[in-house]
Amino acid sequence: MSHTKGPWTVNLKGADAKVICPDGREFDIGDILYHEDNKDNAHLIAVSPDLLAACKRHIEYEASADSTDPNPTVEMASRYMEMMAAAIDAI
C-alpha cells in the first residue's frame, strides 16, 4: 500500500471540508454547513499518515523487543505515548 506522505492539512473555508496533500492536491470531504461531523472527518483523515507512522513504529518496536522482557523501557514507552498523543491532539 502506498500513500502520499504527510503532513496533510485541512481547509474549512467555504461550505466544504477539504484535505490538502503536500503536493497541492485537494480532496473534498463534504459539506460542513449541514454535516458538522465532516469537519472532524477531515481532521481525522489529515492525521492518518501520522497515525500510520505511529502504528508502524510500535509494531517495529514490538518485533524487536526482547521476548524475555515483558516491560518496555521507559524511554521507548514515553516516545510512543508522545507520538500517539500528538496524533490524537491533531484530530
Contact by Cβ (8 Å): 14, 28: no
The dihedral built from the CA positions of residue 65, 66, 72 and 76, taken in this order, carries a sign that is: negative
Question: How far, in Å, CA of 87 to CA of 83, rounded?
Answer: 6
pTM over 0.75: no
Question: How far, in Å, CA of 39 to CA of 32, rounded?
Answer: 6
Each residue's pLDDT tens digit, 38-69 = 898 899 899 888 888 878 877 777 667 655 55
Q: What type of residue sits at position 24?
A: G
Share of the chain above pLDDT 70, in %: 80
Look at residue 90 in the predicted model and tell me its pLDDT: 64
